[in-house]
Structure formats: structure tokens, C-alpha cells
Amino acid sequence: MTGSHPAVVQLDGGNLVLVIIVLLIALGALGMAVMFRKEVLAAAEGTDNMKNIAHAVQEGANAYLTRQFRTLGIFAAVAFVALLALPADTLGVRVGRSFFFLVGAGFSAAIGYLGMSLAVQANLRVAAAANTVGRDPAMKIGFRTGAFVGMATVGLGLLGASVVVIAFRDEAPAVLEGFGFGAALLAMFMRVGGGIFTKAADVGADLVGKVENNIPEDDPRNAATIADNVGDNVGDCAGMAADLFESYAVTLVAALILGSQAFGDDGLVFPLLIPAIGALTAVLGIYITKPRPGENGLTTINRAFYISAAVGAVASVVASYVYLPGSFAEFDNVMGTDMSGVSGDPRLIASSAVVIGIVMAAGILALTGYFTGTEHKPVKDVAESSLTGAATVILSGLSVGFESAVYTTLVIGAAVFGAYLIGGATLTVSLFAVALAGCGLLTTVGVIVAMDTFGPVSDNAQGIAEMSGDVSEEGAQILTELDAVGNTTKAITKGIAIATAVLAATALFGSYSTSVFEALNEANPAIDEFNLADFFVFNPGVLVGVLLGAAVVFMFSGLAINAVARAAGAVVYEVRRQFRDIPGIMEGTGRPEYGKVVDIVTRDSLRELVTPGLLAVLAPIAVGFGLGVTALAGFLAGAIGTGTLMAVFLANAGGAWDNAKKLVEDGHHGGKGSDAHAATVIGDTVGDPFKDTAGPAINPLIKVMNLVSLLIASAIVSLSVGEDQNDVVRILIALVAAAIIVVAVVVSKRRGNVMNDDVPAASTTRS
């Protein structure tokens, strides 16, 4: 079986120089990030009232992330020890894999924290700029904030991967598994925890403020407003930034692992060159994001994306033809396999795969923008359905989510299969082509992350303006426009993050199969062909695995949404209590106790993130050790397929509901305070945990499960058919993993809302 033997990677002088250049580009990207940060902080901060509100948001966000990192440190320590215990070819690989697991987790945490720390300083600067100097400077500050996060993401991703390649050479693929796992695991926890925090506060604030008391979204009389703004930063900034970093890191890891198997030395270097080109084109995209007179902000951002993507595509094709040889025979000495009879031009395969990834990103940008943008028919239809009540709003939003998932999945599927067919020489080359499509998508990540962070910064800026009351009517209108643009860019980046997850998971799935066959050959050379039929889909074991993989996605989504519902219920009770018990809140003479709501959602979100995290890590262990490597292969396939559809459905349905609410608030169908407005607010509160908690968290979920499976594959085979075969130990491991999942889910389901002692559980008092 081609590709079942590890490549011998020497990383000779020329290639070593190229990797060092990539390392320098990574450092340059980090330098650009520092420069963009200074540009943002140089802007005026606004009035004292704005500063006081922003300071409260900063304190809440810092307090939450500090407590979250303490909690996640425990998981990181356990995973570090577990990785040390897993078998590896050498002690150096085992230690390196565990060490770079911590590096990957640390980078993911750093991206999240740094993005949040600048966002909470940029939001009041955007608000101040909108009020004093106009839309374009305000938009520039918001986008430069995103540019800082984007360049930091690109820089740290390339830095980690290039250092591993330089330090470990032929052992780099195994060590990179740890780096990717660390990035994905921490990002998943940050995405889930931050998503629960932000949406619990948002839903609670909307239900009591907008629906029950008919006051604006960011009215300072609502005790949940500070928590809501904190949530935008810990969820949409810190959580999403970590998520996009791990998408970048894991896609790169998958490409490097398969590249070393397909192209040997060149295959370990080429996947670094493509995102390095993307780092340079990202700078171009950031600097050309300049609005033209009267132009919608989304049009400006989209134009910059398309131009930078096109330049990246052309540069990647040139790099493919300059760097790679013209035939597979020239890989003969480094592959450990005779490639002289393999047809095809490696340069054409690589460049075409990269272009497919870039085109896919552009296609998803257009599709997501259509289904979630306020100027297009789907969102207009959802807004119009508000005239007949909340039920029809929810039904129409669900319809948009389901339909958009089909079209987006078709685009992703076409890209995956197209790349696979292009690399038709061998299975390993085909899988590497899929991974290179992911690398092509990575060329757009710098701009994509900038687009994503722009969303919560503009949202927070509008909140600060409304709470402070210090912004003119014209400034408020500018911020409303930027918020609507940011809402669409957030939805677009979620779609592209999902596509990245699918490409990375598909490539990792290929690495898993290769790892399994290597382990089978080592255990018994005669067993390889005999067991190949066990992986066919009509094998009941594989089919059961597919069902279990799909079930985990549903369970994970349910746990995340239920966690938001419970925490939001606690917020509702607390805000109601304050409206009832604190004199003068509605008159503006009493001050709400903002800190109590922040404490509630902090406590709940940190408590609730444990169960989904355990499910993601332990489910592959339970299936793999309990049912075998064939069932685990089906499990991963089921998780990838279901996860793709579910993530797109949740993200786009939520985005459509959110922008339908904004359409009504802009004066359509009765405007603010109307029955139609109340209906869209309810639709938005349903969509909040869809688009900002469960949906985005599925991206790291499927990659964490693929990486766990890749890490444990050889151990499963060893205990199943190797010299160390021990069915008792294997089944015991599976039972312990399954038992932990069951206990965690049962404990989670038994939790009620966390409320203050002086609020009766049955209370439904309205102020």
C-alpha cells in the first residue's frame, strides 16, 4: 500500500534555508501585528463616561479569562501526561510531542487573550471615532484591531510549525500531532466556555430588557449589559480567535504530515511556503481595505478579500512551479517507495489543489453573505415573517439554516473531491492534495480573522455608545451600520472556519488510515490485505461507528445549547430581581449591580464547558478501544459529515435571525417596540447559542476527535492484534472512558439554573 511507510526526511541545505525564510516571515507577521496594535491604541478614547464603561468591560473580560485559564490548566496537565504515556518511535518524539502540545495550547490561549485585550481597548476608540471623525476612521480602527489578531494568528501558526520542522526534521510529523492537538483542545474549551458566557448574558439581557421592559439592547438600566459586552470579547474575540488559530495550525499540521509521506523532504517544506505567501498577501488585503465614498463597508471588506485571495492564488501557482519537480520519479530517493511509474505533474497537482482551496473560500464567502446579509432575500423573508409572530420567525430561520447547509456542503464537498481527483496518482498523494486545498484556504486566514474580529469590536462600540449616551445621532447611525457589517463578517468567517475544519479533518482522517495500516503491518505483515475489507462501509462495525460519530455531534450541540439555556435562565431571574428590588432603576436614579450578572455567567460557563470537552476527548477513546480501528474510522466519517451540516445550519440560521432583527430595528415592519420586533428578538435569542456557541464549537470538536484518534491508533492496534494484545485492558479503557462520559452527562443534566437565594425558582415576576 503506497504511503504506508514513513518517508526519510533529511531537510537538506536548500530546503532548510526555505524553512528559515518561512520562520522569518512568521516573525515579520508578528512584527506587523505589533505595529497594527500601536495604530489602534494611538486613536482617541472618547469621553470619560465611555472610558468608565469600557473599563468595566475590560475588568470583567480579564477576570473571566484568568479563571478560565486556571481551569484549562488542569486539562492541559492531564493531556500532557497522557501524551507522554502514548507510544512513539523514540523518546525524543514522545517528549517533543508532549512539549509542543503545551506550545500549541499556549499559542491558542495567547491568541485568544491578546485578541480580547486589544478588542476591549479598541471598542471605545471606534465609538469615539464614529462620533467625532466619521465612519471611515472608525471602520479603520475596527479593522486594524482585527488585523492585529489576524497577523498574530498567521505568525504564531507558522512560527510553531517551522520550529518543529527545523528541530525534528524526519520526526517532525509525529511531533506536529502534539502541536495541533494542543491548539485544537484549548480552542475548543475557549470556544465552548466563551460561547456559553456571551450568549447566556445576551439572551438574558434581551429577554428581560427588550421583551419584558421594552428598553434598548444596551440600555445601562439593564444589569446584564456589562456581562453582554464582556461576553462579546471572551466569546467572539478570545474564543473565535483561538478557534481560527487552531484551524490554521491543524490544517498546516495535517498538510505537513501527509506531505512528508507523499513528497518526502519537499512535502514537508512546500505546505509551509503556501501560508507564508498568505501572510504577505494578508498585509496587502489589510492595507487595501479602504472605503470608497458612499460604499457599504461590507463591499469594501469583500473587495479586499477577493483581491488578496487572487494575488495569493497566482503567487502560490508560481511557487509550485518554481519549487516542485516536474515528475514523481524525482521523489524516488526520499520516498522510500518507487514513484517512477506514477504519472502526473506534481507542480500541476499542487498548484491546482491550492487554487481549489482559495476558490472554495471565495465561494463560501459569497454563499454565507447571501444567506445572512440584510440586503438579500433570505434575511428579508425572515424579517417579513415577524409580522405573523415569533413562531414563523423561528420556522423561516430554520429553513434558511437547513437550505444554506446543503449548498455550503456541496461547495466544500466539491472542493474535497476535486482535490482528491487531481491527486489521482496514489491515495497518499490524493490526500495530500486535499490538505493542500486547506493550505490554499490558509492564504486567506489573515484577512478572514480581521473580518471576524471586526464584528465584536463594532458590536461593542455600539453598546458603549448607547450606554454612555455621549454619541450624536449621526455617530449612532454609523455604529449601527458598522455593527450590521460586522454581524455579516462574523457569519462569513464561521462558514470559512467550518470549511477549514472539514479539509483538515479529511486530511487527518487520511493520516489516521495510514497510521492504522502501518501499525497493522508492524503487528503482522500478512494482516494488511486481509483486514482491508473491514473498512468497507457495509461492515456493520463501520456503520455503527458512523452512527456514533453523528450522535456525538448531536450530543455535543445539545449540551452546549442547554448550557446556554440554563445560564441564561439564571441571568433572567437576576435581572428581574434587580428591576424589582433596586429602587429607581427604570427611572435612571438607581444603579444596577452589573457585577452579579458577570459572576453568574462566569461561574456557569466554566462549570458547563467540562462535559462537552470530556465528550470530545473520550468518545474516540471509548469507540476505538471498545469497537476497534474500523469502527473508529466510521466514527470519524460520521462526525465529519454530520458536523459539517450541523455547524453550517446552526451558524447560518443564527446569523439570519440576528440580521432579521436588525432589519426590523432599522424601521422595517413596524420598527423597534412593535410586535414584529418582539418576534425577531425571540428568534435572535434562539439563534444566539446556535451561531455563537454550538455551531462554531463543532469546528474544533471534529479536529480534536480526529487528532485523538490519530494519536491512539497504534495503541489500539497493538492491544488488538499485536504482540501486546490484551483484550481485557483494551475493553477496560473503553469502559472507563464511556463511564466518565455518562457520569459527566448525567451530572450536567441534573443541574438547574444558578440563582440567588432570594429569588424563588418558580418566580415569573415581571417588572
Q: What is the pLDDT of residues 163-215, one digit of tens each?
A: 998 888 778 888 888 898 898 888 888 888 888 888 888 888 877 777 777 77
The one-letter amino acid code at 181 reads F
Which cell numbers hold the place of 496? 470559512
Residue with cell 447560518: 652
Mark out the alpha helices in 628-667 (DSSP H runs).
629-665
Distant-in-sequence, close-in-space partners of 279: CB < 8 Å, separation ≥ 6: 25, 26, 28, 29, 151, 154, 155, 158, 446
Q: Tell me: the pLDDT tens digits for 3-62?
A: 333 444 456 677 888 999 999 999 999 999 999 999 999 998 888 888 888 888 888 888
Look at the chain and count its residues: 767
SS (H, E, C) 123-168: HHHHHHHHHHCCHHHHHHHHHHHHHHHHHHHHHHHHHHHHHHHHHH
Answer whether 434's CB lies under 8 Å from 412's CB: no
Q: How far is CA 142 from the centre of its chain?
A: 20
Region 233-251: mean pLDDT is 80
Domain boundaries, the chain: 52-288+299-525+538-750
Q: Tell me: the pLDDT tens digits for 412-440?
A: 999 999 998 987 757 778 888 888 998 88
Region 483-498: mean pLDDT is 79
**Does residue 11 sit in helix, strand or coil?**
coil
Region 429-457: mean pLDDT is 86
Q: Please name which of 286, 274, 313, 243 lies closest in space to residue 447, comparing C-alpha atoms.
A: 286
Answer whether 170's CB lies under 8 Å from 10's CB: yes
Region 624-628: mean pLDDT is 92
Cα–Cα distance, 200 to 685 (Å, whole number)? 9
Q: Which residues of 643-682 are buried (b: 16+ CB within 10 A; e: fewer)?
A: bbbbbbbbbbbbbbbbbbbbbbbbebbeebebebbbbbbb
Region 287-299: mean pLDDT is 83
Inter-CA distances, 491 with 449, 688, 693, Å: 12, 12, 13
Cα–Cα distance, 443 to 354 (Å, whole number)? 9
Q: According to the model, what pLDDT value does residue 471 have?
A: 81
Half-sphere exposure at residue 185, Cβ-oriented, CA atoms within 13 angstroms: 30
Cα–Cα distance, 694 to 696 (Å, whole number)? 6
Cα–Cα distance, 508 to 490 (Å, whole number)? 26
> How does the average pLDDT of the chain come out, rounded?
84
Q: Please name which of 21, 26, 20, 491 lies closest in space to residue 278, comparing C-alpha atoms.
A: 26
**Does residue 219 sit in helix, strand or coil?**
coil
Answer whether 656's CB lies under 8 Å from 372's CB: yes
Inter-CA distances, 718 with 185, 533, 597, Å: 25, 19, 51
Cα–Cα distance, 184 to 645 (Å, whole number)? 20
Region 286-308: mean pLDDT is 86
**Best mean pLDDT range from 159-173, 315-329, 458-472, 548-562:** 548-562
Q: According to the model, what pLDDT value does residue 531 have?
A: 55
Q: Tell me: the pLDDT tens digits for 335-371?
A: 445 555 566 788 899 999 999 999 998 888 888 888 9
Q: According to the model, what pLDDT value does residue 757 have?
A: 39
Q: Tell me: the pLDDT tens digits for 694-716?
A: 888 898 889 889 889 988 988 88
Task: Count CB atoms within 10 A of the CB of residue 417.
Answer: 14
The one-letter amino acid code at 207 reads L
Which cell numbers hold the place of 754? 444558578
DSSP string covering 559-620? HHHHHHHHHHHHHHHHHHHHHHHSTTTTTT-SPP-HHHHHHHHHHHHHHHTHHHHHHHHHHH
Task: Count CB atoms within 10 A of the CB of residue 750.
Answer: 7
Residue % of the chain over a pLDDT of 90: 26
> Is pLDDT of 755 > 60?
no
Half-sphere exposure at residue 653, Cβ-oriented, CA atoms within 13 angstroms: 28
Q: According to the model, what pLDDT value does residue 727 have?
A: 86
> Is pLDDT of 761 > 50?
no
**Does residue 297 sit in helix, strand or coil?**
helix
Q: According to the model, what pLDDT value does residue 566 have?
A: 86
Cα–Cα distance, 33 to 153 (Å, whole number)? 9
| 5-19, 401-415, 752-766: range with lowest mean pLDDT | 752-766
